[in-house]
């Protein structure tokens, strides 16, 4: 068992890291941000869940928590900048991210849609909004 998609989405947003960068390509600064963000997010959500259930065990464990910033929030405003949350769908999973905060305003290609739309696939938030 690992961190999972929900918390990895939140950790990467907090660290302001793109979800597609390989770990071997991270700079020392990015590694430090990732480390501190992982600690902060996991401790925060562990504390929240403990506060909700007290000494008990959660009756329903779900990855979709209403207080999450990007996970499960496709097309809703990013809590940090207000840009619409984007997603990459692959297999039966998805990655949710903020193109502005995490990828310099560039939308990442979703394999299924970008193949279909080809040159019409929006490359930036501005193109997505129709401002370009």
The domain over range 4-60+68-129 is classified in CATH as 1.10.8.50: yes
d(CA 81, CA 127) in angstroms, rounded, equals 17
The per-residue pLDDT for 66 is 81
Pair of tokens at residue 76: 């809703």
d(CA 51, CA 37) in angstroms, rounded, equals 21
The per-residue pLDDT for 124 is 64
pTM over 0.85: no
d(CA 73, CA 67) in angstroms, rounded, equals 10
Whether residue 1 is predicted with pLDDT greater than 90 in this model: the reply is: no
Binned at pLDDT 50, 70 and 90, residue 127 comes out as low
Domain boundaries, the chain: 4-60+68-129
Q: Average pLDDT, stretch 96-113? A: 85
């Amino acid at each position: 068992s690992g961190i999972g998609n929900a918390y990895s989405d939140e950790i990467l947003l907090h660290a302001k890291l793109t979800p597609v960068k390989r770990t071997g390509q991270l700079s020392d600064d990015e590694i430090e941000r990732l480390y501190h963000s992982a600690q902060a997010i996991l401790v925060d959500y562990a504390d929240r869940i403990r506060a909700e259930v007290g000494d008990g065990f959660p009756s329903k464990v779900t990855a979709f928590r209403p207080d999450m910033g990007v996970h499960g929030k496709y097309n809703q405003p990013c809590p940090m900048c207000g840009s619409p949350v984007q997603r990459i769908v692959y297999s039966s999973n998805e990655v949710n991210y903020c193109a502005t905060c995490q990828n310099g305003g560039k939308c990442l290609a979703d394999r299924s849609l970008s193949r279909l739309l080809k040159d019409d696939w929006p490359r930036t938030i501005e193109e997505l909004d129709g401002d370009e």
